[in-house]
Every structure is written in structure tokens, then in C-alpha cells.
Chains A and B, each alone.
Chain A
Amino acid sequence: MNKISDDISKDLKDQPKFTTDIGEKDQDHHSFDLGEQTTLKKIQHFLHGNPTIVPVIILILSVIAFGFIAGGKFFSAFNLSLIVQQVTIVGILAAAQTLIILTAGIDLSVAAMMVLASVFMGKLSVEMGIPTLPAILVGMISGVATGAFNGLLVTRLRLPPFIVTLGTWNIFFALVIFFTGSQSIRSSDIEVNAPLLHFWGERINLGGFVFTYGAFLMIGIFIFLWFLLNRTAWGRHVYAIGDDKEAAELSGIRTDRMLVSIYAVAGFVVAIGAWVSIGRVGSVSPTSFYEGNLDSITAVVIGGTSLFGGRGTIIGSLFGALIVGVFSSGLSIAGLDVLWQRFALGCLIIVAVGIDQWIRKVSN
């Protein structure tokens, strides 16, 4: 036998022993880990498996806290239902945003998309005399198209979603100004020419609790998306793409096509939000909801969805939006300046992302 191969064969005979050593070390390490299961670790694991728990706890605690700070006024049926009304639009935007963030993306253009869709609805029905339903349909198409446009840019040009939507945010906003000439469509004109646009703003009183139809629609959207995400293959693929895009591709998921469809569905949800927003605000204003993009991201992040994708729940975003609403309402009833509301919100975001990072460490 050749001398070189002799040497190599000696090496080979040594190899199994070598790996045995590593194996034993591995096991030691493992049992060490199990022995050190502290309460904190258990909490970490529990939160990891139940990502919605954190926003639920924060929501409950903040309601209790503001109950003490702001007193009975905060707990009045009117105020509690007002909070729900106030978070309707951001809630719907957050629902759309959740879909995008679950894929490890981000959409800075949602609010601009929404205003653009509402401009189409208002412009066509109020100023061009087109029947309201077709005008709403055009607005819906605009939402789906702008969403799909984002998706196409992300998948075809392989640009990061942050950059794509930073660009389209400006583009959509410019289109809004172009179509409206910076003029609002007045509430009174809408009431006369296209009252259907105000439909979701109508209120019903349930024993002191005043809800808009739009608030129910928002809840409906969340339930619908929950089923979509958890009970259909499409939804499972949203998580799979956000978790590990390459693995999803190798599992046979057409990830590019899926991403475009996810952005389009988000656009559709945003367009529903456009209709609701007209009812909520009354008028169609080109400069409204300028902070809606960031507010929706805030709600999603506070709701426990990871910015790294693949982890989080749609219902969490609803809680996230409600937490923001509770903070704003509670702090203003307590008589604090608006600046402290923003201060508190900023702290909340950082805490939420910090908790997420900590929880994610479990998987390593």
C-alpha cells in the first residue's frame, strides 16, 4: 500500500474517536443547559411560543395604570369606545403592515397608498360624477395595484423593501398632490354627492359604547387575516418566506410570486382603509395620515411581530394599535402634553423591540 494512503487511513481510524469526544462534550453542554433552566429562561421560552402574550399584558397593565392615573373619565364607556374609533385607521394599516413585516419586509408607503386610493374614490364620485360604487372599485384597484407595484420592485429589482417603499411613499404622495392640486374634497360635498363614502363613519350606540361601523370592519379584517394566515397554505407560506426565504424556495414555494401577492393583499387591505378613512375624517385631505406609515409600524412592533420576519401574529398588531390608543387617550386625559405621549410611545417601541430580541435568543 502507498505510504500516503497509509497515513490517511491512520487518520481515518482516529476520526471516529475524535468525533466521540465532541459528542460527549456536546451532551455535557446539553445537560448543563437543562440544569440551568431558571425561571427567567422558562418565561423566555413561554413568550417565545406565545408571542401575543406580551402585547396583551402591556394592554391590560396600561389600561389599569391609566385607570388609576386618569381616573373614572378614562374608564367611561364613551372614552373606551372612542379609543377603538381612534385606532381604526392605524389598526387597518397595521393589519396590512403585519403581512409585509412577517415576510421580513417593511412598507413605508402604506399611508400614502391609502390616501391615493381615497383620492380616487373622492375625486371620481364627487367631482367627476361617477357613481360611488364604481369609484370605490377604482380606489380598491389603485390599492391593489400600488401594493403589487411595491412587490414587483422588491422581487424583480431585488431591492430592499425599505428602499423601495421609501421611494414609492414619495411617488404616491406626489401623485396625491398631482391629482388633488393640494385641495381637499370637502365633507359637505361628499355628503351631498357620495354619501356612501361616509358609510363606515356612521355610529351605533351600544349601551353607552359608541362604535363606528368602521371599527367593526377593522375587527373583521383582523379576523379574516387571522384565518388567512393560520388556516390556508398562502398564510403558512407568508411565515415560511419571512422565516427563511431560501428554505421556502427549496420547499417548492414560488417566493417571488408569493411576495407580489402578499404586497397586493396588503394593498387591498389598505384600500379598504381608504374607504373607512373617508368616513372617519369626513373629508379627503391630501395631507392627512402623513404619519400613518410609522404609526402602523409602531403598532405592529408593539404587537410583538418581529422585524426580522416569520414571527408574530396578526392579532398582536390589533393589540399594538390599541396600546397606542390607550396611551394617547390616557396621557391626554391625565392632562399631559402631547410631547409626553410621543415620548412614552418612543419608549414603548424600544422596549417592544428589546423584548423581541431577547425572546428570539431562545432559538439559538
Chain B
Amino acid sequence: MDKEGVKLMDPVLVAKKLSKKYGKVVALDNADLELYPGEVLGVIGDNGAGKSTLIKALCGAVIPDSGEIQLDGNKVSFTSPIEARKLGIETVYQNLALSPALSITDNMFLGREIRQKGFMGKILKFLDQKAMAEEARKRLSDLGLLTIQNINQLVETLSGGQRQGVAVARATSFGTKVVIMDEPTAALGVKESRRVLELIGEVRSRGIPIILISHNMPHVFEVADRIHVHRLGTRLCVIDPKKYEMSDAVAFMTGAKEPPQN
């Protein structure tokens, strides 16, 4: 997607002047971030740059000391990932937050189960397992993940990439406005990483914008539309991966090179 076209729209998610201190350590120093509809925003930064605090503030795991977050132009605040999720901000954690001993279906609907209609569901609270399995299968095939044969297979029998697929399918299934992905390829081999990068493209093509945090420069440069460079607790610059080299990004990140003015 071209950068100018993206900018014409209003951002889905905006962070304004977020600050967070841990004692004397300043983790976030008036950090800004904008995420536009339909884009993949890569977030890169050296270790300790405050990138993970920024992401945690956006997904509700950390409450910033000051600053504000806007979703679809409205100011929002949340005190937990669960509240953020209710507003449509889904996070795929690095450890995926799946329950290995439960089935794919159970995992996809964990905490958001579908109950049967009528007496069985309302009074006895029985789950509608057929509806959930069907929905789960549909979600997975929408994302091109139908290689998973049996929807009631336990998650622990899946490969790392397949698990990532289940976590992504879960994150994009419930009226999601924004998906945050934390190091999705860190634990994967080359083939599986490739599959996950395709998956990110798949999610974007369905109109859901993604914030992608990764240490893997080639991956970020491959899928990101814009790259947010974080340094010393704040946003240093946003670069277009088509106009800059990976080495430039690293130079900005480490302070070896002055960022462009934007």
C-alpha cells in the first residue's frame, strides 16, 4: 500500500505522549504512535529502547503514567489486556497464550465460548461445540491454514507455526480492530516463519491493521508498510522500508546515524 494513500485516512490507533517511569528509569518518554487502516506497522528498537513498554501500554498490560490512547478517534483507557481486547485490540503474545492440552477449537474460543440456544445453553450452560468447531474451521481456512486436519486436535500436537496460526486466527476472529504481534517469528524455523509472514499479509488483506514487533530486520522489511523506530523511550522516526536499507534502520536504532525529519 502506498504511503501517501494511507496517510489520507484517519489513524485507527493513536498513542499521544505516553510516558511511563519505573522508579528513576524512564521507559517511555512522551512516545507517539499512529497506526493507519490496512497497514502493517513494524516497530523496531534496540533492547531497552522502551519498545516493549510501548506495546504493553497499547495492549493494556502496562498503565502509562500520562498520555492518551485513541481508538477510532475516541479516547480509550484500559487496565488489563482483557479490557483492551473488548475494545478490539488483540495481542498475539510471544508465548502465544494457548493452552496446549486443549483442542484448537477450545483454544480459539477460550473465554468467549458459544453456548447452545434455549434451555440447554441458558440454564445448563452447555456449549455449542458444533458451532464452535465450524466457526474455528472457517476462521482457519479463511487464513489459508486448512493444513490443520482435525479441528479437535490438541494444540500440543501442532508445530510452532501451526500454533502461531491458531493464535492469529483467534486474534482476528472477534470484531478485531487492531492486532499486535509480538515477535511472531522468533521461535520458528525458516519455512514456518515464511508461513507466518504470509499469514500477516493475509490478515492485512482482510483490512485489519497490524503492529508487528520484531528483532528480525529482514522480516520487518518484508512485510511492513511503515517502520516505527523507537529509541530512548520515544519515537525517533517512521521510515518507509522501500526508501531505506536495513542498515539505515539499524543505524537509526543505535544512534549511529541522524534520522530523517518527518
What residues make up the interface of A, taking CB atoms closer than 8 Å to B?
A: 1-2, 4-6, 8-9, 12, 15-16, 19-20, 22-23, 26-27, 49, 227, 231-234, 236-237, 239-240, 243-244, 246-248, 250-253, 310-311, 363
Contact = CB atoms under 8 A, between A and B. Distances in A.
A22 B99 contact: no
Contacts of B97: 244, 246-247, 250-251
Contacts of A9: 245-247, 250
A57 B125 CA distance: 33
A256 to B, nearest CB: 12
Contacts of A23: 189-191
A234 B125 contact: yes
B154 interface: yes
Contacts of A251: 97, 99, 107, 110-111
A363 B156 CA distance: 6
Contacts of A20: 190
Interface string B92-131: 0101111111100011001111010000000011110100
A252 B250 contact: no
B190 A244 contact: no
Interface string B51-72: 0000000000000000000000
A164 B92 CA distance: 35
B218 interface: yes
Given A4-B254, A252-B112, A247 B245 contact: no
Contacts of A311: 101
A193 B190 CA distance: 76
Nearest to A8: B250
Instruction: Give the interface centre of B98, B99, B107, B124 by most chain A CB atoms within 10 Å.
Output: B99
B101 A310 contact: yes
Given A12-B218, A19-B189, A251-B97, 15 more contacts: A2-B251, A4-B254, A12-B250, A19-B190, A233-B115, A237-B111, A239-B102, A240-B106, A243-B102, A246-B95, A246-B97, A251-B110, A252-B82, A310-B101, A363-B156
Contacts of B91: 250
Interface string B219-252: 0000000000000000000000000011110110
B85 interface: yes
A5 B251 contact: yes
Given A8-B247, A252-B111, A243 B217 contact: no
B162 to A, nearest CB: 13
Interface residues of B, number: 43
B102 A5 contact: no
Nearest to A5: B251
B257 interface: yes
Contact of A236 (B102, B156, B254): B102
Contacts of B247: 1, 5-6, 8-9, 12
Contact of B246 (A12, A19, A232): A12
Given A49-B154, A232-B127, A247-B97, A4 B251 contact: yes
20 contacts: A1-B247, A5-B250, A9-B247, A12-B246, A12-B247, A15-B217, A15-B218, A19-B190, A26-B189, A231-B126, A232-B124, A232-B127, A233-B125, A234-B125, A243-B99, A244-B100, A251-B111, A252-B111, A253-B111, A363-B156
A26 B257 CA distance: 37
Nearest to A26: B189
A310 to B, nearest CB: 5
Contact of A240 (B81, B110, B115, B251): B110
Nearest to A29: B189
A246 B107 CA distance: 14
B99 A16 contact: no
A363 B102 contact: no
A243 B156 CA distance: 11
Contacts of B113: 233, 236
B106 A236 contact: yes
B232 to A, nearest CB: 18
Contacts of B115: 233
A234 to B, nearest CB: 7
A6 B247 CA distance: 7
B256 interface: yes
A240 B106 CA distance: 9
B110 A4 contact: no
Instruction: Give the interface centre of A19, A49, A227 by most chain B CB atoms within 10 Å.
Output: A19
Contacts of A253: 110-111
B251 A247 contact: no
Nearest to B160: A26
A247 B98 contact: yes
